Amino acid sequence: MEAGIQKLLVEYLRKKKRIKTLEVLCEELIPEKKTKLSFSIQSAPKRPQPEVFIKKSSSKSKKSAASDEKPILPKEFKMIAKKVGLPKEHWDFFYEYRNDFKFEIKQDIKIHCTGNKGHCKFTTEVFENCLVDHMVESHSFGKFPCTKNVDCKFMAYSKECLKQHISKFHGSGRVVPTKDQRYSCKFKSCSYMAARVSALEIHHRVHENRLLLCQFCNYTSNWPYDMRDHMRYHFQIKTQECPVCNLSFINLKALNTHIKFHSSDFSCIHCHLSFKTVHKLNVHIISCERRLSKLY
């Protein structure tokens, strides 16, 4: 506080006869006297630290200098890196450790068309949507919406697919609910019931058209196993081999159908009726399964 202001404040308090306030003010304004010690406090002396001598090896300095310099990449390595698809930022790393990696250039792979029930012989190079134009022009693929129910947003990729959807999802081919099926569809216009939550979720995907899409053609599916078999058709991956004639097939269903041709007895697995041809047996099995589904 300045000296002039102190005097004015002291005079004002005296005139107003505020003695207690004046005493408190005077105590605050008087500086405290510092007490002097009879002895002096000195800091402790620093301990002398022993000097440590580190010998710097010349080999390490040479290695560090060599590591700072980027290696010169040969043209052959650059060509392989481009074909394999390595990003340019990692070329130095892969070239430095090139002995630890095995680079292999894949052969050109052709993708097969799945139209005409897998009998189409059209092939092309592999890239995204490579078979879409062929499917539309040669097999009349496209977008066919379902109009049977307001709550059904299903979009079929072909007319045959739309027929199967209407039969299995809305028509007589749908599964009749049983006592074990306790989870009902969330759409009021649909009376579907499922035994498991996972099956109900797949049913809802069809309603909302949340399907698995093939990245090469128009095909869609709500079952991962069907999409797996579809991709096997595209690349002709045949894992099931016939024990009689050594022919290979894409899935077990196709193998079982083929094995029937080696037998002269075509009998139904449900009612044990026998038929002369496989075609008549397959037609009977469909009707037999529909009849048995109503009993459960």
Classify strands 123-125 and 240-241 as parallel, antiparallel or unpaired.
unpaired
Asked whether residue 279 is domain-assigned, the answer is yes
Q: Which amino acid is at 75?
A: K
Can you give the pLDDT at residue 77? 81
Phi, psi of 274 (to 5 degrees): -105, 150
The answer to whether position 157 is within a domain reads: yes
If asked whether residues 184 and 286 sit together in one domain, one would say: no
242 and 181 co-located in one domain:
no
Summarize pLDDT for 161-215 with one digit per residue, the tens: 999 898 888 876 566 666 677 888 999 888 888 888 988 999 999 999 999 999 9
Do 122 and 195 lie in one domain? The reply is yes
* pLDDT at site 277: 77
Is residue 268 a part of any domain in this protein? yes
50 in a structural domain: no
115/208 same-domain check: yes
Spatial neighbors of 270 by CB under 8 A, at least 6 apart, are 285, 288, 289, 292
Whether residue 276 lies inside any domain: the answer is yes
CA 142 to CA 138: how far, in whole Å? 11
d(CA 275, CA 248): 26
Contact assessment for residue 260 and residue 280, using Cβ atoms and an 8 Å cutoff: no
* 3-class DSSP state of 156: strand
* 158, part of any domain: yes
Residue 112 within a domain:
yes
Same domain membership, residue 180 and residue 169: yes
Same domain, 191 and 255: no
pTM exceeding the 0.85 threshold for the entire prediction:
no
Instruction: Verify that 208 and 160 share a domain, yes or no.
Output: yes
- Is residue 289 assigned to a domain? yes
| Judgement on whether residues 181 and 280 belong to the same structural domain of the protein | no
Let me know whether 121 and 163 are in one domain. yes
Domain that holds residue 135: 107-222
Place of tokens 């002269």: 264
Residues 270 and 193 in one domain: no
Do 206 and 112 have their domain in common?
yes
Q: In total, how many domains does the chain have?
A: 3
* Residues of the chain scoring pLDDT < 50: 63, 66-67, 105
